[in-house]
Amino acid sequence: MRIAIPLFLTLAMSCADDHDHADSDDEASDVTGDDDDDDDDNGTNNGGTTDGSLEGWCTGQDENFSFFVTSMSGLWALSDSADGDMDGGFGGDFGGLAGADQICQQLATATGHGDKTWRAFLSVTDDGSGQQVDAIDRIGSGPWYDANGRLVADDLAGLSGERPDGEAQSVDDLPDECGVPLSALGDAHDIVTGSDENGRLYSSDPDTTCNNWTSSDGSVGGSGDLMCGHSFPREGGPGGGGPGGGPGGDEGANWVSDHSLHGCGKGANLIQDGPGSGSCIGCGGGYGAFYCFAE
Q: Cβ distance 2 to 86 under 8 Å? A: yes
CA distance 177 to 37: 18
pLDDT at 14 over 60: no
- The CATH number for 64-295, chosen from 3.50.50.60, 3.40.640.10, 3.10.100.10, 3.30.465.10, is 3.10.100.10
H-type alpha helices, 179-274: 210-213
φ, ψ of residue 209 in degrees (nearest 5): -125, 25
pLDDT at 247: 64
Helices (H), the chain: 7-12, 72-78, 96-110, 168-171, 210-213
Overall average pLDDT of the 12-39 stretch: 36
- What pLDDT shows up at residue 276? 74
Q: For residues 165 and 153, give the distance between their C-alpha atoms in angstroms, rounded to a whole number.
A: 6
pLDDT at position 17 over 70: no
Give the pLDDT band of residue 248 (cuts 50, 70, 90): low
pLDDT tens digits for 95-133? 999 999 999 999 999 999 999 999 999 999 999 999 999
pLDDT digits (tens, 9 = 90+) for 47-59: 345 666 788 899 9
Which of 23, 19, 51 is closest to 38 using CA atoms?
A: 51
Mean pLDDT comparison of 9-18, 238-247, 268-277, highest-scoring range? 268-277
The overall pTM is greater than 0.85: no
* pLDDT for 4 beyond 50: no
What is the rounded CA–CA span in Å between residue 79 and residue 55? 14
Mean pLDDT (the chain) is 82
